[in-house]
Amino acid sequence: MKLLVTGGAGYIGSHTVRALQKAGHTPIIVDNFSRGHRDSVPTDVLCIEMDIADSTLVEVMKEHEIEGVMHFAAHSQVGESMVNPSIYYDNNVVGSYRLIESARQAGVKHFVFSSTAAVYGEPEIVPIKEDAKLEPTNVYGRTKLMIEQMLSDYSKIYGMTYVALRYFNAAGADPSGEIGEDHTPETHLIPLVLDAALGKRPHITVFGTDYPTEDGTCVRDYIHVNDLASAHVLAMNYLHDGGESTVFNLGSGNGFSVKAIIETAKEVTGIDILVEYGDRRAGDPGTLIASSDKIKSVLGWNPVFSNVKDVLKDAWGWHQSHPNGYDDKK
Ligand X SMILES: O=c1ccn([C@@H]2O[C@H](COP(=O)(O)OP(=O)(O)O[C@H]3O[C@H](CO)[C@@H](O)[C@H](O)[C@H]3O)[C@@H](O)[C@H]2O)c(=O)[nH]1
Ligand Y SMILES: NC(=O)c1ccc[n+]([C@@H]2O[C@H](COP(=O)([O-])OP(=O)(O)OC[C@H]3O[C@@H](n4cnc5c(N)ncnc54)[C@H](O)[C@@H]3O)[C@@H](O)[C@H]2O)c1
Active site residues: 140
Among 102, 169, 264, 287, binds ligand X (CB under 6 A): 169
Q: Considering just the CA atoms, what is the radius of gyration of the chain in Å?
A: 19
Residue 129: C-alpha distances to residues 134, 237, 294 (Å) = 11, 23, 8
Q: Which part of the chain contacts ligand Y (CB under 6 A), choosing from 24-32, 101-109, 255-263, 291-299?
A: 24-32
Among 76, 161, 217, 291, binds ligand Y (CB under 6 A): 76
Interface with ligand X (CB under 6 A), residue total 22
Among 81, 169, 230, 245, binds ligand Y (CB under 6 A): 169
Among 1, 3, 4, 11, binds ligand Y (CB under 6 A): 11
Residue 115 CA to residue 134 CA, distance in Å, equals: 12
Q: Do the strands 219-220 and 256-257 form a parallel or antiparallel pair, or are they unpaired?
A: antiparallel
257 in helix, strand or coil?
strand
Selection from 59, 182, 65, 167 nearest residue 120 by Cα? 167
Q: How far is the CB of 138 from ligand X (least distance, A)?
A: 8
Residue 239, number of CB atoms within 10 A of its CB: 22
Which of ligand X, ligand Y, none does residue 137 bind (CB under 5 to 8 Å by kind)? Answer: none
Name which of 113 and 207 has its Cβ closer to ligand X. Answer: 207
Q: How far is the CB of 192 from ligand X (least distance, A)?
A: 5
Residues 6+ apart with CB under 8 A from 65: 2
Residue 312 CA to residue 189 CA, distance in Å, equals: 11
Name which of 31 and 67 has its Cβ closer to ligand X. Answer: 31
Name which of 53 and 206 has its Cβ closer to ligand Y. Answer: 53
Name which of 117 and 265 has its Cβ closer to ligand X. Answer: 117
Among 4, 17, 36, 301, binds ligand Y (CB under 6 A): 36
Residues 6+ apart with CB under 8 A from 239: 68, 109, 110, 111, 112, 161, 162, 163
Residue 277 CA to residue 148 CA, distance in Å, equals: 36
Residue 70: alpha-carbon gap to chain centroid: 12
Query: According to the binding rule CB under 6 A, does residue 109 interact with ligand X?
Result: no
Residue 141 CA to residue 88 CA, distance in Å, equals: 10
Query: According to the binding rule CB under 6 A, does residue 111 interact with ligand Y?
Result: no
Residue 26 CA to residue 119 CA, distance in Å, equals: 31
Name which of 187 and 306 has its Cβ closer to ligand Y. Answer: 187
Query: What DSSP line would sit under 173-233, residue for residue?
Result: --TTSS-----SS---HHHHHHHHHTTSSS-EEEE-S-SSSTTSS-EE-EEEHHHHHHHHH
Q: What mask, x for binding ligand X by CB under 6 A, covers residues 251 to 270?
A: -------x------------
Name which of 220 and 319 has its Cβ closer to ligand X. Answer: 220
Residue 34, number of CB atoms within 10 A of its CB: 13
Q: What mask, x for binding ligand X by CB under 6 A, covers residues 180 to 219?
A: -------xxx--x-----------xxxx----------x-
Among 70, 81, 88, 116, binds ligand Y (CB under 6 A): 116
Among 17, 74, 204, 290, binds ligand Y (CB under 6 A): 74
User: What does the binding site for ligand Y look like in residue numbers (CB under 6 A)?
Assistant: 6-7, 9-13, 30-36, 51-53, 72-74, 76, 91, 95, 114, 116, 167, 169-170, 183
User: What does the binding site for ligand X look like in residue numbers (CB under 6 A)?
Assistant: 76-78, 116-118, 168-169, 187-189, 192, 204-207, 218, 220, 258, 281, 284, 288
